[in-house]
Amino acid sequence: MRLVILDDYNLASEWAAKYICNCIIQFKPSQGRYFTLGLPTGSTPLGCYKKLIEYHKNGDLSFKYVKTFNMDEYVGLPRNHPESYHSYMWNNFFKHIDIDPNNAHILDGNAPDLQAECDAFEKKIEEAGGIDLFVGGIGPDGHIAFNEPGSSLASRTRLKTLAMDTILANAKYFDGDLSKVPTMALTVGVGTVMDAREVMILITGAHKAFALYKAIEEGVNHMWTVSAFQQHPRTIFVCDEDATLELRVKTVKYFKGLMHVHNKLVDPLYSMKEEN
């Protein structure tokens, strides 16, 4: 596991964006050789998406040969609702880059047969050759995607009932009105994310500090589903100082001492201008 600790949210977002950019460029995507990226929603990845858009606008990064798969979507919320994850992804990311809309996959929370929709999503991931880099975020209760506490760590894409902690955390997007927050969602499983060749999880803010501690300093536990990534051979946690508040000083010192190694992953920042 790599734990990358940056001073604040903006630096953590930039580090994550640089890492994604370098992964895509080093892969040398082309017609018939697509880079496959798993993507999250939430407030955490917004800074990272902004940076990726900037790299795209500067001509440094293209998403022409990138396929994306989103982690989750609410059930029953109209697709064009401002808080649907479809709206989120198009408004905050996809409409600003050159991705082919046919290559941006988001679960349909209004599908007539929800399990068939989930099964088809898994199949599409498989047909795309699996996910090269799954970027994720977590809830303060340590859930990844919508894999709430108690979810099987071998789970696949399916329908989940949201936990009260998640409904409370997400109420801010629905005028603080708990009754407006959807109670169910479609989500990739922990097993689906575990199958990715590499996983990068963004954790920022003091309200996620306990979850980060549970994720990396205690055992693998289905009550903190993000802890499953202790068993993934290539996981990077990217966090800010605030998120490390519950970690042992020893842990923080060790990983901070490795920053010069981790920074080699993002410096130099590659550009497609030089590649072509």
The contact set with ligand GLP (CB under 6 A) reads 40-44, 71-72, 137-139, 145-146, 166
| 148 catalytic per annotation | yes
Asked about 143 being catalytic, the answer comes back as yes
* Least spacing, CB of residue 43 vs ligand GLP, in Å: 4
Spatial neighbors of 125 by CB under 8 A, at least 6 apart, are: 36, 69, 131, 192, 195
**Alpha helices, DSSP H only, in the chain?**
9-27, 46-57, 85-92, 114-127, 164-170, 190-194, 209-216, 249-256, 259-262, 272-275
Burial per residue of 133-156, b for 16 or more beta-carbon CB atoms within 10 angstroms, e otherwise: bbbbbbbbbbbbbbbbbebebebb
Closest distance of CB 158 from ligand GLP, Å: 14
Tell me how far, at minimum, the Cβ of 80 lies from ligand GLP, in Å.
19
Q: Which of 14, 117, 122, 148 is catalytic?
A: 148
State which residue, 83 or 217, has the beta carbon closest to ligand GLP. Answer: 83
Backbone angles phi, psi at 273, to 5 degrees: -60, -40
One of 72, 117, 122, 240 is an active-site residue; which one? 72
Least distance CB 146 / ligand GLP (angstroms): 5
Cα–Cα distance, 130 to 170 (Å, whole number): 30
Catalytic position from the list 105, 143, 195, 241: 143
119 a catalytic residue: no
User: Is 72 among the catalytic positions?
Assistant: yes
CA distance 203 to 181: 23
Give the residue numbers marked as catalytic. Answer: 72, 141, 143, 148
